[in-house]
Structure 1
Amino acid sequence: MQPPPPSLEMQILSEMEEVVFSASFPELEIIYVSPSVEMLSGYPIEFFKHELGAWRKMIHSDDLHIVEHALSSLKETNKFRIRYRIQTKDNQIKFVQSQGRLIRNESGEILRFDGVVTDISELLSVQDFIKNESTGIKQLLLENNILFNGSQDSMFLVEVMENRDFVIRRINTAYEKATGLTQSNIQGKTPIDLLGEPLGSSVIQNFRNALRAKTTISYEESIPMPAGTKIWTTALTPIEVDGKVKFIVGSSKDITEQKRIETALKESNERYALILEVSSDGWFDWDLVNDTVIYSRRWWLEFGNDEKSDNVPISYWKSLVHPDDSEWVSEFLENILSSQRETFEFSFQMKKRKGNYAHVVSRCYIQRDSSGKKIRMVGSNSDLTEIKKIESTLRKAKEMAEAANLAKGNFLANMSHEIRTPLNGIIGFTELLLHASLTDEQKEYLRSIYISGKSLLSLVNQILDFSKIDSGKMDLELISTDLIDLVQSTVDLFQISAASQAIHLKLKLDPELPRFVSLDPLRVRQVLSNLIGNAIKFTHEGKVEVSVKPIKQTGEIVDIEFSVSDTGIGIDISSQTKLFDSFSQADSSITRKYGGTGLGLTITSELIHKMDSHLRFESELGKGSKFYFVLSLQVNSSGSVSSNLFEEKQITPDETAIIENNQIQNDILIVEDNDLNKRLLSKMLLKRYPNIQLRYAVDGADAINQFKQKIPDLIFMDLQMPVMDGYTATMEIRNLEKDKDKKTPIIALTAGAFFSVKDTAMESGMNDFLTKPLSSADLYKTLEKWLSSGRM
């Protein structure tokens, strides 16, 4: 049985009458003394612990020499047993018997001095009784009485009568305390007299068993007594006088608490064993001294063999580790055992009984002896095979989702390119036709085509914005911006549209509004444009009001509320929950009546979320809506105005006459695989620059050959082409150029609209970037910019 926990030991020691002590030697400084010293001496226990030599003060002055002599010879005798008097705190004189011994280690060095002090004052009456007897008899009787009454075990003396009856003659003090019986009410009684027929007969049977055995017998019993029913372990010893057994000496030890602890421990072990049995864990106990391991039943069923699971060599466990893990596991354990760590865990593959390998995690604890030497390692193994399967499934699902998301992004990018390419022809040729001599009716038709193309381009841009937000590829660019100018110029863009519907568009700027703040002007304008455009679209009459005001300012950070309210159709409660869902509108009939992708508010909400805010709204069906959000912005002393940040794109076609420029007569190479785009670009260029020389290449490889034959003054380079793309062709051309200080300007042409496309083009060595559909104004401006500066 394992020793009881410290709390139980303290409880047992506190209930003992004997004083147990431990002291250093030869200093005799008290290391431990049991609580019973307070009852014996009257002094508090701290009196002996904190004052060196305090115990000497209570020894009677006439008996001090007895103690000193015993201590001085202790090193030779190794133990002593003496009797002397003490004087308690309240000046009572008590007789005590003290016995103790030196405790040594394996080398024979003295570790400490342990002993027991017993109060024998009650034996003075015996001493008085035998004071007239000889010294030898007195001493003998005294020692016998000390042994009988000084014992902590419950002792009793039974006389065996001639008729084989058993009569109880004496019990000791410990018996009286344990049972509640006294010497006077038990002396001279038989077991039947004392306990009644059933219990008494059982006790008598035990006495007869001792007589038959003619030696000491032991057994456990439980007998109800006045002090309560307890469990005892009893030893009976028959005593012969003149060849006949005349007495039986009994000694009973109260093991009630011990039994309780044993039962609790057994239940605990059974409970723990059941828990381990039903869990997926198996435990092991590795004896580090003998290099053997004991395994639990659960562990052995999973990883063991047909041999026993006790004292298995550690080499067996090592043989189970997967070859791929064997080397690092051995190195890991070696490092752990050479460190001071007590607990650790690690995961590896281990061979099961069936031959397959399982992923397991071992959780371990290292135990040390009193000198700090590692003596054992205990731990558990958990099978992670199913968890690993789930992880693998989740990982594959994640990879599939990422692949699907990537495919979606690529699809949208490709679709953007494919849609923009024909739009380039539609919008470009329409713009050229508008400069031709046409009737008013023809021009009206062309304007409708142009505006429809621009509307389609706007829808494509919205889908691309959604794709960039959805894939997390949209980043904000914070610029110190004139906030008042940004908001004013954004509202101005919608004045004509609002006026055409007889809607009053009003801007309300708070006078306390800071002028310059750090924000992404492009995205803030996009948000405001979406909200204002929606408000105008869904308002038949009344007004749309844009309001910007500061809410609070802390240091250089100001919270500013942007709101757009209208007197439009409003939103019913049932539709408000899906207002920000992708590709949806409050009502499907709205799409038919007002048009749109259903992405406007989704993109707006996500953009605002990117700015660490939330888009909120208030709406009532038939009375209008209010959309608002709050941005926390840094206040600055200066910033850029919108005219420096944006190139305002025309919604209506530019029908001003194209003025020819005969001064430009340069050699220009157009690298384009699409015939329609090639013809459009040629027409646009020759319309303004009739004296230029145009050459053509159908792909990047053809462009390099043309460059080798004759270096052009400027190159328009499409990016996506068969055989060789524009990026690769540009890098090859840059490698061919001998004069690195004078490079041919290369202008990128692309239907792609992602910022990453422009960045990649610039990194490959291109000088500028034009996005399809091409604007004639942008085209002319870019060409003249680079030709006027000559080669770089």
Structure 2
Amino acid sequence: MVDEDGSSFIVLHGSGAAWPVEGREPGAKLPLQGSATAQILETSAGFHVELRDNEETATKYPALLPLREAGNRSYIGVPLMSSGRTFGALHLLSQTPNGLSEDDLPLAQRVADQIAGAISQDQLFKRHQATTAALSQSTERYRQMAELATDVVFTTDARGVFTYVNPVAPRLSGFSEDEILGRHFTEFVRPDWREKVRQFYVGHLRGRTPETLLEFPIITKSGDVKWMALRVRLVAEGGATRGFQALARDITERKQSEERLQKSEDRFRSVVEQAIDGFLVVDRSGVVIDVNRWFSDNLRYTRDEMLGKSMAEFIAEFKTERLTQVWARASHASQSESFTIEDTMLRKDGSEFPVEVGVGLMEVEGGQCLFGLVRDVTERKQSEHELRQAKAQVEQAGLARREFLANISREIRIPVSGIIGMTDLIMETDLTPQQREYVGMVGKSAGSLLNVIFDVLDSSNLEAGKLDLDRTPFDVRDCVSDALRMSAFKVHERGLELVQYVDERVPATLLGDPVRLRQIIVNLVGNAAKFTEQGEVLVSVGLEPHAGESQDGGPQEGEAVKIHISVRDTGIGIAPETQQAISESFAKADGKGGGSGLGLSLCAQLVGLMRGDIWLESEVGAGSTFHFTAEFGHVTDSENAVESGPVSGLQGVLVLLVDDNQTNLNNLSQVVAGWGMEPILATNAEQAIESLRRHATDDRDVSLAIVDSDLAGDDGFNLLQRIKSETAPSIAGIMMLTTLNQKEDMTRCREVGAARHVLKPVSPSSLLDAILDAVSGAVQPDAPDELLVNSQPQPYVKSVPSPQNDEASEELDQVAATGAEVDDSVASTTQPPEPTYDANGDDDSETGQVTEPGAEMDEFVASTTQPPEPTYDANAD
């Protein structure tokens, strides 16, 4: 029998020794091509052949040659046919010549027909079984799908009576399966919808519509209303309707959402109609689709008169090109983004008025449309016109005010500078303690007044945008040190340590305005010191993270450098509610002190000019930290760069550093190590003595000792005296002094044999000068006059030409020329009054123009009391 694929045949039965072995077993599958079976299928007729060993047999019946080789001599083959189709063959063989003849063909065909009939019946029975099984499986799958479905699945007869429901129906309706089956489906429909539903399905039945969809409400057993979407399919058999198959989905939530949406749309429409602004919707061609009542009130058109009309009738000088541009802009904006345009609208009577229109895209049936929120801006335009006029008047008044301030400040600065100079001269004369106190108060008040003047002038220039920053190469470390020296007296007066730390990655030379940078630091340090009772004020300088850093973490050549400076104190801290006020309005944090109140405000504006930011971090009881960033140029050419790195003559020199402040100690260590020296660190006297003894046993002499004069437990003078007497008599000592008690401290320096002294906070440049002098022996301990003069204030340079200032300058020049000792009170009187902390963090008394006690007096006048570049008026200094 031929296989289903038509390429092979299956042996149903084979017997007899003459049949080839491989084809004898029932079920054997053999190739059809070239076989005797194929030859019979081609002709659908039987034939008889005597299998002789001759050319005729080989030529006409090649497929029978294997049968002859197997020993057969006679062959008959007839087709197996059913319904006119040949599906196989019956083969008869005999090993006897002429054992089969042509006469045997009819009998063989009859036998073949009987066999074919039996095979057909068998195949028909098997197909019936397969069909029955498939139908049963399909029914079971349908039932399982119905049982597992999340929607209601049911069937009814032609009348609409339930014949089957899946388990979802009882769960959804609350009725049991028995309560549902046998009842008409409309019994579960909400009463007001029953007739509609009945009529709908009557039409469905009459029109024999294959499938329909209807949404309607039902009533559950508990009385709740549920909305159903019912999809029904007609079941027909033999031209007659047998019933319905249906799928029902619970759409209650969707209906409730639609109801809420409709209510929302109704509310929106109500709001739109009552809005004080106009609401307008137009299509792509500019045709009005919808408007609210605002247009009736303002344009005098009714809603019906506007709908369907072009916007050209309502916009003055309407242009299609502009509408196209607005559409393009709206299309590129995000879904929730709108933008504003200005236009001029036309009333029905032809009059015009200006409007501002917020434009955006919205989805409507049929596509996208433009909507506009229209506002009459007639009053605003009038106000803007009046504001421009007022602004021009204010600017004119501001110019007059600045000219007045410049002129009046000159008139005030001349006598105030004279008061300061003459006060300093008076302080050098013999005065009673009470007189000295009164004169000191005069000096302080004059200095405070001068600072207020400069604050006002700086604020005026900043307000007018006339304050420009210098751009000159400077050493940032020296700049920070200068600022700290200017603040040192007040900090040390409160018993605090003033510490600086500069990250080694910060370039040695920057390009910018060092005077303004110093001004910012002085203000912040003054603020920090005012609310710190004990501990320290730490000024740290580092690099802001930058995308283009070199491998060592520093900036690359030729690019801008942004430094980060923080001023941290160990004071009382600032409450969170006050921090916000400091950041926003610079209001005073307490009622103490006076001053201009402009210090921190100026700092913030100066930081802004330096392309930086300023902010505050603080915790009550844990101190405060003011941060600011500033951008500078990076100087890389050898002409402008400040020299740094190892110093000739100092490489390998052992130096003892003694300071009880770890931050100070680490900073000093980093500085001297950068010059090639080898630092030995100690935080107290015992550690220092022990370190010297240990190095003495290693045959390595310590050439230099740099000692803090104000060590905890034992002062630095006693320690240096012990070092010289006990361990290293030949060691060169450098004392680090505070700005307090300089006269007594310098006397003690001579007594203990200190080679040099430096004032705290120590700047790298002054420390290097002192180390080079001490190591080379340029200054001897027995040269008191030279030691004293080097540490005393230098005379003023004349800041403002006046007879008083000229006389004061000449007197001070004489004092400096003779090397006479200037009483320490002179330094005290030139200090500004007690710094006051704004409620905004302002330092009211220190604004960058502060006397530097113990430093060069010319710097005080030239750099601090003198205002920046003279931009106030043509005659200003």
State the structure with bigger RCO (CA 8 A, min sep 6), 1 or 2: 2
TM-score when normalising by structure 1: 0.38
Bigger strand fraction:
1
The higher radius of gyration belongs to 2
TM-score by length of 2: 0.35
